[in-house]
Chains A and B, each alone.
Chain A
Amino acid sequence: MKFAKTLVTAAALVALSLGGAAAKEWKKVIIGTEGAYPPFNYVDTDGKMKGFDVDIALALCDEMKVECEVVAQDWDGMIPALLAGKFDAIIASMSATDERKKVIDFSEKYYNTPPAIVAPKDTDIKGVTPDDLAGKTIGAQVSTMHADFVEKVLTKSELKAYPTADEYKLDLENGRLDAANDDVVVLSQWLKTEAGACCKLVGTITPIREIHGPGAAIGVRKEDTDLRDMFSAAIKAIRANGKYQEINQKYFDFDVYGG
């Protein structure tokens, strides 16, 4: 991590020499999201970023009275891009896991839904315990808590890690995978589509705190504690003023905020 630190320090030095020593006033916040994780974030047919994450991001910015710009970033480069200063916050359904907390900081959670397992309709998989899934090839998106879960808990299964969710869905459809592990909302949404007709939900997994963390939260650089607190306060505010519920209703028929 030394390199990232050096980078950040260098960036900070440049910023200092250019902009004077005044503490940064957050007038404009650039937000990174993936754009390949429907219904939370995706690129719509008109080329615009849409989804629950994006709507929440814009509502939070409104609440914080800052100007925001949402940019796309591939999932596996999300944290390095944040550290390199390409954007100031990650709002991409990223769970605040302990592993990530070593590198970046997180706001309070803004939603929390359980993970689940899907499999082809003619599967012989009966449940979601490690024994049920023993010997199976399970797909997940690389560098996610879901991939982590397969590796750490489903030790008798083989993990196949894909760059985006689209790709494990394709391989599930064409029979290369015995099952896939992802967020229940993401999977259910996909099962409703034409492509998802191949498969069914086997069951949801009870989240494990050490692996799954407290839920999806907003990631910021460790030194931006002010921005982190602004986001946490804004989440609370939009929960209280009904804006959150409004967005929630647009996408889901239940409260994704979770317990």
Chain B
Amino acid sequence: MAYVDAPSTERPPAAARRRWTGARVIGLLLMVLWALLGVSIVYMLIVGYDPEKVAKYGPRIVQGIWVTLHLVTMSLLLGAVISIPVAAGRMSANPVIGGIAFGYSYFFRGTPLLAQTFLVYYGAGQFTDALKAVGLWVFFRDAYFCAVLTFSLNTAAYQAEILAGAIRAVPAGQWQAADSLGLRHFTTMRKVILPQALITALRPYGNEVILMIKASAIASIITVLDLMGQTRYVFSKTYDLQVYIWAAVIYLATVEVLRRLWELMERRLTRHLRR
């Protein structure tokens, strides 16, 4: 089974001298332009560094980061829970269940998250009396809760598609093999199909987490003081554009940390596939 290449004794051919084509020149110029932009942004942050402002507004930004992380984590976890029945529905042979799951996914993936957030936050406000009667108003009164609810429902639709797609991608032979071993449906799913499906799903899941982090900035529109909300607050006090750059840097750093985390996870989970 093991097939190992004999170590090559040949030296690689000498690299051909690359010619200065038009595309290469333009590409290089564009790179220089990007580098200059990056340098000027860093320069701006260094030159404009104002210890007084940092001391005054820094804690607010830090607080905003926590709110964003909390908001995103809650939404992703709740969304993951909701996504399981939705994914099951998407794969169901029953047209009614399949139709409901399809409709759910169609609506949440087909309309802007901003509109959904407004719909939940201000829409709930139209039914204050009804919500009070069933004791749910205490939740809907809170902007943070409305944000978590909307984001969970939204990400659940995407996560369900990822999960359903990954399960479908597992070759049918795996089901047949499990059947021939007499495994029950549930056991097959849990022990055979899901472990393979989750490897396929890992990358898309990572994408969804990253998208969610950035989309969470929408919460700031409905008065949640997340990272974006605090940034807008500080900007409204200082009129200093730098705070937006700092916010961008923080979002970027968060995404980078996650990207690396995902890389580690993928290497760990696919170690049996490496040769």
Contact = CB atoms under 8 A, between A and B. Distances in A.
Interface string A167-202: 100110111100000000000000000000000000
Contacts, number: 52
B239 A160 contact: no
Interface stretch (B122-130, B194-202, B256-264, B267-275): B122-130
Interface in B241-268: 241-242
Nearest to B49: A2
Interface string B218-232: 000101000000001
Q: Which of A3, A4, A167 has the most CB of B within 10 A?
A: A3
A161 B236 CA distance: 11
A135 interface: no
Contact of A3 (B125, B128, B143, B240): B240
A118 B86 CA distance: 45
A1 B240 contact: yes
Given A170-B122, A174-B122, A76 B223 contact: no
B22 interface: no
A142 B236 contact: yes
B60 interface: no
Interface residues of B, number: 23
A170 B221 contact: no
B241 A3 contact: yes
B203 interface: no
Nearest to B235: A76
Contacts of A80: 239, 241
B236 A3 contact: no
A170 B119 CA distance: 13
Interface of B: 44, 47-48, 122, 124-126, 128, 137, 141, 143, 221, 223, 232-233, 235-242
Query: Which 4 residue pairs of A and B lie closest in terms of their CB atoms, listed nearest first?
Result: A174-B125, A143-B236, A2-B48, A175-B128
Interface of A: 1-4, 76, 79-80, 83, 99, 103, 142-143, 160-163, 167, 170-171, 173-176
